[in-house]
Structure 1
Amino acid sequence: MDVLNKSIQTALEALPKTSSSSSDGVSLVSLKCQLLLSYVQKLAFLMLVKLDDESFLQHQDVVEKLVQLRIEIEKIRPLENRIQYSVDKLLRAAGRKEEIGSIKEPENNGNDKDSQDSLKLHYKPNLSEFADDSDGPASENNVVKEDDKSSISSEDEEEELRSAKDGIYRPPRIRAVTMDSEKRTRHRPNHLVDEFVSSDMSSVPQSMPSVGSNLEKRGRVIHADERELQKMRERIEYEESNYTRLPKLSKKDLKKSKRVKKHDYGGEDWSLLDRKFHDDDFSNRKLDLTSRAKRRANFEDVNDGSLASPVQIGQSYRKRKKNLKRR
């Protein structure tokens, strides 16, 4: 007890005589400090009771008060987490108090508003630095930079005046940007060529099935057709296992499935041998008026029996062959 009394006495002597006012501080923090102080006092009292070999039943009100303080401290914790950002911000502001106090106040009272505006714009970015340097001589560059600075400053002033009048924020115009108007042609990849390059021209070892072992699965196919076949197999397996019929395929899916079976023979895909320079999707596109007129004239010449080029004869032959397949 003597050691405890001496330590408490030295702690009291180290404390300042006059306590600073906390009226302008955060009330939640001061409340938490008071609760912690009261909690420590109650714990110290119960420790003294335990040292004197007394029962806690005689001091039941102290135990109840201790439990109440513990609950209040736990309830304050989520509130403290909510205002943690504000408290950190205030602490950082207090740490920068000397830096803020170093800014001199304006001497003239009439120019207070102008000085405040200048302080706000003190850290404004220099928009003239965003302009690109031209390849001309130094004198011309200086003239261009001065013109850019004057134009940028005038535009900024106009934008600030307009935003001040109607209260609508308008971002600063730093540099004009034009959108690309040219449409780039999309290259359609050829899956057969990709498969040939990745398999036949590569030195990486690959696992291949034996000859004739995969005829039931249509043999060797390209990757796109293999995905379509896998979807069809899953569809058939689902219908057989659940004894139900799925909805019919759409026209687009039916067209894809027919395209897969079009060049199939003997479990292999022979479409590479009958590959035209242009794909069917590109050849079936609608032509403009001049192209259609030329095609019609060429077709009439062929029907009349006049001489035609081999390309025109081949086109007419493919068209007739296509009509016969449809029948």
Structure 2
Amino acid sequence: MASPATVPEIFDSIKQSIESVSETSKKLSGLAPPAEGLSLLDVKNELLLSYLEHMVFLILLRLKSASAGTEKEADLSLENSNLGQSAVKKLVELRLYLEKGVRPLEDKLRYQIEKALRAAEASERATKAKEAAAAAAGSDDKSDEDDASEGSDEEKEAADSDVGAFNEEEVATSRPNRAAFVRPTSGLAAATAAPDSKATADAAAGGGVYRPPKIAPTMMPTTGRKDRAERRPLKSATMDEFIADEFSTAPIAQPSIGTNIAGHGRHMKTSTERQREDERRDYEERNFVRLPAVGKKDRAKRAKAEGSGPMSFGGEDWRGLGEGVDRINRLTQRKSSSGATGTRALLEKSRKRGIDTTDGPRGSGAASSGVIGERFQKRLRLQDMGRRDRGKKK
């Protein structure tokens, strides 16, 4: 490298270098916006282009390695090569930038981008309208100057109307929706915030009485009847377990002896209850938290929903036994009229009169005295007399 011959030339070169460095540092310190468009879109395009380049490069590497051997060997060689690993890492990095960086920012700036595009389109339309008006005014003759001026005025008015329509549209779209920010807290506020003006007028005229709007969500009518669902017989857990145990050929995991006994031996846990306990234990072990115990109200509510009560034992409901006996009595009993006489009347009286059954000598059910257990008391007296006479000398 040839050095400068004189000192002034050295100073000049140093001065030029300092000036160039200062200008470059100023440019690097502040990133200037691009000449055309938004910087986010430029970054997105650059990332997409780089992603496609690396993808094509990875495909070329795979084709090159596949030509040497089988597909499995190509995959192994591509994984072992440093060039393939670096290409895959770069693809993952670019995909992360696109998914987690560009897309959320683009969603946040979507409104501003659309607003800028609409403004650019409106200005372009206005410029074209002015150019067309100027061209039409220059090409017309002097005799048609008035007509040309009227035409240009109309075109200018059309352009102004387009700009005005754009401004109105922009104001309408950029106006904040107050209903989206403030949620009505009372019935009257909800009625006033509803778009139905009639409902609002009715609420105002009703003296503060809440009137629900017509657009309120309503429950769809059901096809089945509620009473029919209530009359449906309850499902028997014991019967399900019996069918699963007796008619299934698959191996069954039985609980340990004593683990399925509940209520101090008065109740046997069903498979549903054991499954619920297993789910509770698994949740506690997986999340390292102890769930609160089930309260009395919750237990009573669950028992009512499952149909268990004082007449249930072993998962079965035994209320039907008493109902069956009452049904037999109702079917066998004959209704007697008020003026019934004869054998039927005597039979009814005998049913109503209670029989005093006592321990008689022959077990006839009747005794001379009305004391129950007279024979037993007599035997006790005889035994006491024998004890008193046992130690006396005759």
Which interval holds the TM-score relative to the shorter structure?
A: under 0.3
Structure number with the bigger relative contact order (C-alpha 8 A, sep ≥ 6) is: 1
Q: Greater CA radius of gyration, 1 or 2?
A: 2
